[in-house]
Amino acid sequence: MTSKKDDHIVTPPPCPGPAWPVKSATRFRVPAGAVDTHAHVIGLPPEYPFVDQRSYTPPEATPAAYLEMLDRSGMTYGVLVQVSVHGTDNRLMVKTLKANPQRLRGIAVVSPDVDSAELAILKDAGVVGLRLNVLYGGGIGFDALESYGAMARELGWHLQFLVSATDLPALAPRIAKLQVPIVIDHWGHFPVSRGLSDPGYLALETLVRDGAWVKLSGAYRNTVSGPPYTDTVPFVQRLHAAAPDRCVWGSDWPNVAHWAPMMNVGDLLDLLADWVPDPVARDRVLVDNAHRLYGFNSGR
């Protein structure tokens, strides 16, 4: 986060860009209709300011580069998630959605006092959910969780949480009372070093089994061993077994706030062959589940 130190502004550290050029999976055929359910577009100041309360400073990730990533990785559709460094300024995401109405959907970040006119603009652009984020700065936390739940219910949207699974045991009772679908980013940012019996992981597994959706994404955020992230396999396989019809996949492109070795989107897709070895179940994750959650027409 931006802070003052010895009368100088300390800028959050820059993070590298994603691996390029993007490639597709080599271990399986990406099915027609596949959806990347988690990626970001990022503008640069001054046109698209960064929030001061952030933990990293990203490079630009243009709409054109994002669409090329989808094409190269074999994704028919995509879901843009409002990136934390832009706070509640959803303009670039909305602009990208409006230019690609059949191909894209969006998840917005809004202030608690957002007015109905702004919500109408977001919905018209293709937004289908709201994100609450307590990691990386620039997001909206859980103080007004119930108010956001009511807002999402009125709009026919879902709530998406960027949260550490280690916080879920305390949050789970409130989450369970929400009357809207919920989606957990990056399977709860769970550090696999804590093990399968950790209370945070068990709380995540229970939420998923009881009705929550989970994004099979962010392996590089949860790993201990590093690429190719094989230490994540038993954790994701158990979540998928808990709710095979409520798992979706995301690249997390452009993979911000990550300074360790960067995997290509195609390598992250290949990891899905270990996470969900059965081809029929894997196609369901990439196509059917995502189409149902985000409102794409699968034609399947």
Low-confidence ranges of the chain (pLDDT < 50): 1-8, 299-300
Distances in Å between the alpha carbon of 1 and those of 10, 53, 152, 219, 247? Answer: 8, 5, 29, 24, 32
pLDDT attached to residue 4: 44
CA-nearest of 27, 41, 156, 45 to 95 is 41
The rounded distance, in Å, linking the Cα atoms of 34 and 250 is 10
How many residues make up the chain in this entry? 300
Hey, what's the torsion of the CAs at 27, 30, 35, 39, to 10 degrees?
Answer: 40
CA distances from 162 to 18, 23, 124, 253, 261 (A): 20, 27, 24, 15, 22
How confident is the model over 42-70, as pLDDT tens digits? 999 999 999 988 889 999 999 999 999 99
* Max CA pair span of the chain: 61
Amino acid letter, residue 24:
S
Q: Which two tokens stand for residue 55?
A: 């933990």
**Domain at 13-294, CATH class:** alpha beta
State which H helix or E strand residue 27 sits in: none
Secondary structure of 158-181 in the HEC alphabet?
EEEEECCHHHHHHHHHHHHCCCCC
Q: CA-to-CA distance for 52 and 49, rounded, in angstroms?
A: 9
CB 205 within 8 A of CB 241: no
Tokens of 110: 């809004």
The pLDDT score that the predictor gives to residue 2 is 45
pLDDT at 10: 66
Which residue in the block uniquely carries the two structure tokens 């820059």?
A: 14
DSSP codes joined into one string, 234-297: HHHHHHHHH-TTSEEE---BT--S--SPPPPHHHHHHHHHHHS-SHHHHHIIIIIHHHHHHT--
Catalytic residues: 252
Rounded to the nearest 10 degrees, how much is the dihedral formed by the CA atoms of 154, 35, 248, 141? -50
**What backbone torsions phi and psi does residue 127 show, to the nearest 5 degrees?**
-75, 135
